[in-house]
């Protein structure tokens, strides 16, 4: 059993030691809780549970504390993929919910498994997901002041390998902040979140770059064809260099390989194999 999570890219982590320490502690605690959950749950159940914890922590840009878009509203996207069944589900630009990853989980059993906007919100309400405002005072302050140097880049995500050898990946984001309403990120696409029986990947970074490189699916396809996970990650990220693509990934292979990498410092991450490891 293995588990790895990420919390996106955070420029302030390079200069603010207090924030960096808070994120390290949060990731360490969440990966520990996620790994404990994995002891008695499937990979799919575990990635949903773990990403919901990340969504609930306002240190990260997903769920509570998400970025505010250019029209002053918060729109969330998240997706889930079960490596065993190859079923993918997600919500795109959903508003006024607490845990978009839980709505993606609910959709996994439906034929129409990726919903956007008002349709996603209606589905959430019909299935018992109540109104929730994910805005925090800090995000409002950033929006009003338009301080681009304080923007947190990226998403949150989790990849798990369970006791039966099944893989799953889940990813959630609050967007990049101040974007055009209707902009679609990578997080609810197979470019940013992908799993099959051979490997699973969750991405963070600039959504447009990740989609251009089809990053998550490309890595998993290479692993499926026999390439070691680390080599598959590095080869795929190298393909972003011609357009200076900005991306980070966490992943696990069915062979138990666990890997994380980024094109630009610093992606924050934590893993639980035999012990907890956290970014430094």
Model pLDDT for residues 32-48, shown as the tens digit of each residue: 999 999 999 999 999 99
The whole-angstrom separation of Cα 57 and Cα 36 is 18
Mean pLDDT of 8-21: 73
Task: Please state, for a pLDDT cut of 90, what percent of the chain lies above it.
Answer: 82
**More reliable by pLDDT, 274 or 221:** 221
Could you tell me the CA-to-CA distances from 242 to 4, 207, 246 in Å, in that order?
29, 16, 11
Beta bridge partners of 94: 76
Residue 58 in tokens: 């306002």
**More reliable by pLDDT, 12 or 248:** 248
Angle (deg, nearest 10), helices 17-38 and 43-56:
150
Backbone angles phi and psi of 216, in degrees to 5: -60, -50
Mean pLDDT of 234-256: 97
Please state, rounded to an integer, the average pLDDT across all residues of the chain. Answer: 93
Instruction: Give the pLDDT score at 12.
Output: 54
Size of the chain in residues: 280
Where do we find the tokens 């006791």?
A: 163
| Beta pairing class for 76-82 and 87-94 | antiparallel
Backbone angles phi and psi of 47, in degrees to 5: -70, -35
2-278 has CATH 3.60.20.30 classification: yes
Contact between residue 77 and residue 188 where contact means Cβ atoms under 8 Å apart: yes
Instruction: Give the pLDDT score at 147.
Output: 45
- Give the residue among 142, 134, 196, 207 at the shortest CA–CA distance from 171: 207
Instruction: Give the pLDDT score at 161.
Output: 98
Angle (deg, nearest 10), helices 215-224 and 229-238:
140
SS (H, E, C) the chain: CEEEEEEEECHHHHCCHHHHHHHHHHHHHHHHHHHHHHCCCCHHHHHHHHHHHHHHCCCCCCCCCCCCCCCCCCCEEEEEEECCCCEEEEEEEECCCCCHHHHHHHHCCCCCCEEEHHHHHHHHHHCCCCCCCCCCHHHHHHHHHCCHHHCCECCEEEEEECCCCCEEEEEEECCCCCCCCCCCCCCCCCCCEEECCCEEEEEEECHHHHHHCCHHHHHHHHHHCCCCHHHHHHHHHHCCHHHCCCEEEEEEECCCCEEEEECCCCEEEEEECCCEEECC
The whole-angstrom separation of Cα 57 and Cα 117 is 23
pLDDT category of residue 265 using cuts at 50, 70 and 90:
confident
Q: Is 155 assigned a catalytic role? A: yes
Q: Which one from 155, 189, 204, 236 is the annotated catalytic residue?
A: 155
Instruction: Give the pLDDT score at 180.
Output: 87
Instruction: Give the pLDDT score at 1.
Output: 97
Q: What tens digit of pLDDT does each residue of 138-156 get? A: 888 877 775 444 444 568 9
Residue 97 in tokens: 């919910």
pLDDT category of residue 11 using cuts at 50, 70 and 90:
low
Instruction: Give the pLDDT score at 267.
Output: 92
Instruction: Give the pLDDT score at 142.
Output: 77
Q: Where are the domains of the chain?
A: 2-278
The whole-angstrom separation of Cα 84 and Cα 176 is 31
pLDDT category of residue 15 using cuts at 50, 70 and 90:
low
């Amino acid at each position: 059993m293995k588990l790895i999570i990420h919390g996106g890219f955070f420029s302030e982590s390079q200069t603010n030691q207090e924030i960096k320490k808070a994120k390290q502690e949060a990731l360490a605690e969440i990966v520990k809780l996620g790994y404990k959950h994995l002891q008695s749950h499937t990979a799919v159940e575990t990635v949903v549970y773990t990403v919901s914890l990340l969504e609930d922590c306002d240190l990260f840009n997903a769920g509570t504390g998400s970025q505010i878009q250019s029209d002053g509203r918060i729109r969330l996207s998240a997706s889930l993929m079960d490596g065993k069944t190859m079923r993918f589900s997600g919500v795109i630009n959903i508003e006024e919910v607490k845990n978009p990853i839980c709505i993606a989980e609910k959709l996994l059993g439906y034929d129409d498994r990726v919903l956007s906007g008002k349709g996603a919100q209606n589905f959430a309400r019909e299935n018992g997901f109540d109104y929730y405002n994910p805005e925090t005072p800090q995000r409002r302050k950033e929006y009003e002041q338009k301080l681009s140097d304080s923007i947190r880049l990226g998403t949150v995500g989790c990849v798990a390998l369970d006791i039966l050898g099944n893989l799953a990946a889940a990813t959630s984001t609050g967007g990049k902040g101040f974007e055009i309403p209707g902009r679609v990120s990578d997080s609810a696409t197979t470019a940013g979140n992908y799993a099959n029986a051979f490997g699973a990947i969750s991405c963070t970074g600039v959504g447009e770059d990740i989609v251009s490189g089809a990053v998550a699916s490309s890595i998993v396809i290479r692993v499926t064809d026999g390439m070691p996970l680390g080599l598959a990650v590095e080869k795929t990220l190298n393909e972003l260099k011609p357009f200076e693509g900005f991306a980070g990934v966490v992943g696990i292979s069915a062979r138990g390989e666990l890997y994380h990498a980024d094109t630009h410092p610093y992606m924050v991450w934590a893993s639980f194999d035999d012990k907890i490891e956290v970014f430094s």
